[in-house]
Amino acid sequence: MGETVFVLVLNAGSSSLKFNLFDMANEDSIAEGNAERIGLEDGILACTILGDKRKETLPLPDHKVALEFILERLQAAVLHDTPIHAVGHRVVHGGPKYGDSVLVTEEVIRDIEHFAMYAPLHNPANALGIRTAMTAFPDVPHVAVFDTAFHHNIPDHARIYGIPYDMSQKYGIRRYGFHGSSHSYVAARTAILLCRPLRALKIVTCHIGNGTSICAVGQGKSMDTSMGMTPLQGVIMGTRCGTIDPSVVEMLMEYEHLDYNGITNLLNKQSGLLGISGVSSDFREIEIAAENGNDRARLARDLLTYNVRQYIGAYATVLDGLDAITFTAGIGTHSTFVRAKVCSKLNFLGVKLDHDANENGTGERIISTPDSRVVVTVVPTNEELMIARETIR
Ligand code: AMP
């Protein structure tokens, strides 16, 4: 075995800790897994190490214990005392300050905790994950990679909201955007599929999963994106409402007697595909129900594809042209229906889908016809690899 460069990528949630171990000497994924139900006696640790899958039920009182179990498994199966070179952390919100990945210091952790004002569900858990890992690996560099960073330099007019300017400035209220590692990864892969330099391309990247965001990528940079100050804005999602008239919030608070937590929970956890269909937030279940004639499931499915089409149209205008549309994430990668439906009314832009390639291929590929003016691609995302690359950089 040649020289290994192990990079551990961590993604800490409030009750979960996802991990990936890469050997960055050749960008090989060595192990991945997830500790779930942290805080409970019957926590679950699922790991795939060198292709070997395992699922265990264990007491996981906190993130520290979860990380210790993960390291024990990695140590026994692959590390064998080979040191980890660095740890990369996925951090959801970098606030107004972080437009790039950063080497973690105490100040960085405090900033991440402070930016919980924009991402109350994610940033505190991300910061906790970093503190835990820094205790376990005190002597290696830790790098924070922000979901917001790719969108840091979108033009002012694309990120300002129409509220009093002083308040935008005072509180940092503006569009930040998310899924940055995913959008930048799939845009770069699309350029490779097209055999053209990324800088020369106008691409709309569609990350359609449990969370969904669309991004206008021009000259390799994010020019606009559908999510906003928080991941609630934009396209309808699994349980998030997407863009709605802000007056709906006031009305529901008054008529349903909801306080701040009540309305936050309703818009983040009970809305979107789940809220409209009443069936599920899981798109596979929506598709089955829709095929079986469930009208509300059809409505939810139709709103999703309609929203994605709306953004593609808008972003072709933002970019003043369009070379490629890229589909990624769980729904974008797997749902032939969603891709076909989204592309069906984009003829005016010069989009011609190759239905055979859309329905029958797998993995990274072009799914438009050779004479389509806009190339349509499917690119399974790899946010973890992007975080590992950022950590090395
Ligand atoms: P993600 O957040 O990227 O993991 O995506 C999760 C979403 O992808 C869920 O709504 C899943 O139902 C959906 N998904 C996963 N596999 C498929 C599939 N084969 N067909 C349709 N949707 C899928």
pLDDT in tens, 52-71: 999 999 999 999 999 999 99
Instruction: With respect to residue 184, please indicate whether it lies within any of the assigned structural domains.
Output: no
Select from 34, 283, 304, 336 the residue to mutate for testing ligand 1; criterion: most ligand atoms less than 8 Å from CB. Answer: 283
For the Cβ of 327 lying below 6 angstroms from any atom of ligand 1, the answer is: no
Which whole number is the average pLDDT over 125-147?
Answer: 95
pLDDT digits (tens, 9 = 90+) for 278-306: 999 999 999 999 999 999 999 999 999 99
Res. 337 pLDDT band, cuts 50 70 90: very high
Distance spanning both ends of the chain, measured CA to CA: 23
Distance CA 127, CA 133 (A): 10
Domain residues for the domain of 317 are 197-383
Nearest CA to ligand 1 atom 4: 330
Clarify whether residues 137 and 208 are in a common domain. no
Distance CA 283, CA 20 (A): 26
- CA 360 – ligand 1 centroid, Å: 17
Statement: residue 191 has pLDDT above 80: yes
- CA 161 – ligand 1 centroid, Å: 31
Instruction: With respect to residue 178, please indicate whether it lies within any of the assigned structural domains.
Output: no
| Closest-CA residue to 135 (of 107, 106, 112) | 106
For the Cβ of 272 lying below 6 angstroms from any atom of ligand 1, the answer is: no
Res. 120 pLDDT band, cuts 50 70 90: confident
| Closest-CA residue to 213 (of 246, 245, 249, 187) | 187
Question: 147, 224, 302, 356: which is the annotated catalytic residue?
Answer: 147
Which whole number is the average pLDDT over 132-153?
Answer: 96
| Closest-CA residue to 238 (of 190, 206, 286, 204) | 286
Q: What is the pLDDT of residue 67?
A: 92
For the Cβ of 335 lying below 6 angstroms from any atom of ligand 1, the answer is: yes
Clarify whether residues 108 and 213 are in a common domain. no
Q: What is the pLDDT of residue 63?
A: 92
* The two three-digit tokens of residue 21, written as one number: 């171990």
Lowest mean per-residue pLDDT among 71-85, 87-101, 102-116, 232-246: 71-85
Clarify whether residues 76 and 223 are in a common domain. no
| Closest-CA residue to 30 (of 379, 389, 385, 383) | 385
For the Cβ of 329 lying below 6 angstroms from any atom of ligand 1, the answer is: yes
Clarify whether residues 249 and 111 are in a common domain. no
For the Cβ of 334 lying below 6 angstroms from any atom of ligand 1, the answer is: yes
- CA 299 – ligand 1 centroid, Å: 18
The maximal CA–CA distance of the chain, rounded, in angstroms, is: 66
Element (H, E) at 248: helix 246-255
For the Cβ of 332 lying below 6 angstroms from any atom of ligand 1, the answer is: no
| Closest-CA residue to 378 (of 340, 349, 348, 347) | 340
CATH number at residue 227: 3.30.420.40
Clarify whether residues 136 and 205 are in a common domain. no
Which whole number is the average pLDDT over 227-244?
Answer: 97
Q: What is the pLDDT of residue 181?
A: 96
Statement: residue 135 has pLDDT above 80: yes
Q: What is the pLDDT of residue 60?
A: 93
Instruction: With respect to residue 391, please indicate whether it lies within any of the assigned structural domains.
Output: no
Instruction: With respect to residue 162, please indicate whether it lies within any of the assigned structural domains.
Output: no
Which whole number is the average pLDDT over 84-107?
Answer: 97
Answer for the pair 87, 391: CB distance below 8 angstroms, yes or no.
yes
For the Cβ of 209 lying below 6 angstroms from any atom of ligand 1, the answer is: yes
Can you list the pairs that 38-42 forms with residues at least 24 positions away whose Cβ atoms lie under 8 Å? 38/62, 38/63, 38/66, 39/15, 40/15
Res. 223 pLDDT band, cuts 50 70 90: very high
Clarify whether residues 124 and 220 are in a common domain. no
- CA 186 – ligand 1 centroid, Å: 17
- CA 100 – ligand 1 centroid, Å: 29
Nearest CA to ligand 1 atom 23: 331
Domain stop point among 151, 170, 188: 151
User: Is pLDDT larger for residue 175 or for residue 1?
Assistant: 175
Clarify whether residues 71 and 214 are in a common domain. no
Instruction: With respect to residue 164, please indicate whether it lies within any of the assigned structural domains.
Output: no
Clarify whether residues 237 and 144 are in a common domain. no
Res. 243 pLDDT band, cuts 50 70 90: very high
Select from 34, 331, 378, 383 the residue to mutate for testing ligand 1; criterion: most ligand atoms less than 8 Å from CB. Answer: 331
Ligand 1 atom nearest 211 alpha carbon: 2
Q: Is 139 a catalytic residue?
A: no
Distance CA 261, CA 391 (A): 36
Instruction: With respect to residue 390, please indicate whether it lies within any of the assigned structural domains.
Output: no
Statement: residue 29 has pLDDT above 70: yes
Nearest CA to ligand 1 atom 15: 330
Domain stop point among 151, 166, 182: 151
**% of the chain residues with pLDDT over 90:** 94
- DSSP letter at 82 equals P
| Closest-CA residue to 144 (of 39, 41, 10) | 10
Domain stop point among 95, 118, 151: 151
Statement: residue 361 has pLDDT above 80: yes
Statement: residue 3 has pLDDT above 90: no
Nearest CA to ligand 1 atom 18: 334
For the Cβ of 291 lying below 6 angstroms from any atom of ligand 1, the answer is: no
Statement: residue 19 has pLDDT above 60: yes
DSSP string covering 294-342? -HHHHHHHHHHHHHHHHHHHHHHHHHTS-SEEEEEHHHHHH-HHHHHHH
Clarify whether residues 222 and 329 are in a common domain. yes
What burial letters (b/e) apply to 314-329, b meaning 16+ CB within 10 Å?
ebbebbeebbbbbbbb
| Closest-CA residue to 342 (of 311, 316, 372, 315) | 311
For the Cβ of 285 lying below 6 angstroms from any atom of ligand 1, the answer is: no
Clarify whether residues 242 and 119 are in a common domain. no
pTM for the model stands at 0.95
Instruction: With respect to residue 296, please indicate whether it lies within any of the assigned structural domains.
Output: yes
Distance CA 151, CA 382 (A): 18
Clarify whether residues 145 and 261 are in a common domain. no
Q: What is the pLDDT of residue 167?
A: 97
For the Cβ of 240 lying below 6 angstroms from any atom of ligand 1, the answer is: no
Statement: residue 2 has pLDDT above 80: no
- CA 334 – ligand 1 centroid, Å: 7
Structural domain count, the chain = 2
Clarify whether residues 117 and 232 are in a common domain. no
Statement: residue 1 has pLDDT above 80: no
For the Cβ of 122 lying below 6 angstroms from any atom of ligand 1, the answer is: no
Instruction: With respect to residue 171, please indicate whether it lies within any of the assigned structural domains.
Output: no
